[in-house]
Structure 1
Amino acid sequence: MQAVVFANGTLHLPPQWQEMVAQADLIVAADGGGHHCLRLGVKPQVLIGDLDSLPAPEVARLAAQGTQILRYPAQKDETDLELALLWAVDQGATHLDILAALGGRWDQSLANLFLAAHPRLRDASLVFHDGVQRLFLIQSSAVIQGRPGDLVSLIPLNGPAEGITTTGLAYPLTNGRLPFGVSRGVSNQLTAPQAMVQVRRGRLLCVVTPQEGLQALEAAKGNAAPPS
């Protein structure tokens, strides 16, 4: 079962976002993610969170169109996105595309990414999109789709990743090791339309940057305003 989850961060839509929404079995809004849904004309099945980031009239608009409202107290242990992801997985979602979860506050962005290692989410495929790149966790193996020349970075999390074997990448590994805290796995490249990554022990954060996305990022750097 596929789900699309709208978080409350800065929304940068990937080119295929409409296809994602059209193919989704579940659409979930985490608190202020409901605003993104309203702006895009997307109807979520559920709005979940403490709703401190969504004005009451927008909550009412979502309820009027049939969205289920799951309100939580503001004093809670989980973030709204964590609640949304757990709810989607409890409904049977196995693949979750997550939008508007990156950018803005570093603490929130990192906490959102690390939800991919949540014990109750580890059997699901979570893919984070920031409009240019996509990020996901590799815990045993993964097939990476793209085009030759796309950048692929493999970054160990919470310790070294060992027994790494890759195919379809410019700088291959065979039963290799990437220590935590080094940058060796950054900026590899696809040499074929798909690559395979296997890891025997540990976890890898995979970041895929298409060629056109890299060009957009470089252009954005060139257009940055000088300090005043």
Structure 2
Amino acid sequence: MMNINIVAGGPGNLIPDLSEYREKDAFWIGVDRGAVTLLDSGIIPDEAFGDFDSITIEQKKAIEKAAPGLHIYQAEKDKTDLDLALSWAVEQRPASIRMFGISGGRADHFLGNLQLLYQALQRNVSAVMIDRQNTISMFSPGSYTVLRDPVKPYVSFLPFTETVNNLSLEGFKYSLNKCHIALGSTLCISNELIRSQGAFSFTEGILIMIRSTD
């Protein structure tokens, strides 16, 4: 199964080195200005989505020439360009979806993009948002393993639903045992692993995990 990497048009200084994600089975999607970012990084987008109203005519022509699959939409539409790209990606049933260039800049765009993680979760597709400082993922009830990351050592958990029930954390500096976390709680902000790996589990709700660095 392939891994799909989606690059949107967020601030370039927040996008990590994309060459680190150029596995043999990687499939690349550029969203609007994100397609230009891919070309500038020496990566040919396999698909490109957007209204492309934020780039120059020359940049648009370069995308049209390079991308095998091009999806052009009107600027006025009911879904964002990233939503359209993610919906297409989910339909491919990939092993995972990684999204870059979707944080920083406008807060409404970022919060809207965060909602898209839930869209993928509902379809049982693993999706994650990645920038230079943060990695954000979303989970349904179950048990999960977390490996220590020296680059992003801080691990925070936030409820996406009204409550997250029976949350347990093992192998963390601050452990929990079947704790109920309500929407608005900051109890699980800025934790750290004390071993090479830890675990978390919960029985109800939807949970956001953020791994970050200062």
Q: Counterpart in 1 of 2:138?
A: 137
Report matched runs for 1:214-225 at 5 Å.
214=214
Moved more, 137-146 or 199-208: 137-146
| 1:32 maps onto 2:33 in alignment | yes
Structure 1 residue runs of 5 or longer lacking an equivalent are 215-228
Q: Counterpart in 2 of 1:14?
A: 16
Q: Matched residues in 2 for 1:206 and 1:23: separation?
A: 28
Q: How many residues of Structure 1 are paired with residues of Structure 2 in the alignment?
A: 210
Q: CA deviation at 1:180?
A: 0.6
AA aligned to 2:50 is G
Q: Counterpart in 1 of 2:170?
A: 167
| 1:46 maps onto 2:43 in alignment | no
AA aligned to 1:110 is L
Contact 1:115 1:121 in 2 (8 A): no
Secondary structure of 1:202 counterpart:
coil
Q: Matched residues in 1 for 2:23 and 2:47: separation?
A: 16
The share of aligned pairs that are identical, in percent, is 26
AA aligned to 1:137 is M
**Kindly tell me: are residues 49 and 178 of structure 1, through their superposed partners in 2, closer, same or farther at Cα, counting changes over 3 Å?**
same
Q: CA deviation at 1:121?
A: 5.1
Structure 2 residue runs of 5 or longer lacking an equivalent are none
Contact 1:169 1:191 in 2 (8 A): yes
Secondary structure of 1:174 counterpart:
strand
2:194 to 191, 196, 212: 191
Q: Matched residues in 1 for 2:120 and 2:65: separation?
A: 35
1:200 to 186, 200, 203: 203
Q: CA deviation at 1:24?
A: 4.5
Moved more, 94-103 or 18-27: 18-27
Contact 1:160 1:202 in 2 (8 A): yes
1:22-62 Cα deviation digits (max 9, x unpaired): 34431001111112112111111011122222323212212
**Kindly tell me: are residues 79 and 205 of structure 1, through their superposed partners in 2, closer, same or farther at Cα, counting changes over 3 Å?**
same
Which TM-score applies when normalising by structure 1? 0.85
| 1:153 maps onto 2:156 in alignment | yes
AA aligned to 2:183 is F
1:150-193 Cα deviation digits (max 9, x unpaired): 21100111311112122221111221111111110101111122
**Kindly tell me: are residues 142 and 120 of structure 1, through their superposed partners in 2, closer, same or farther at Cα, counting changes over 3 Å?**
closer
Q: Matched residues in 2 for 1:68 and 1:147: separation?
A: 35
Contact 2:120 2:127 in 1 (8 A): no
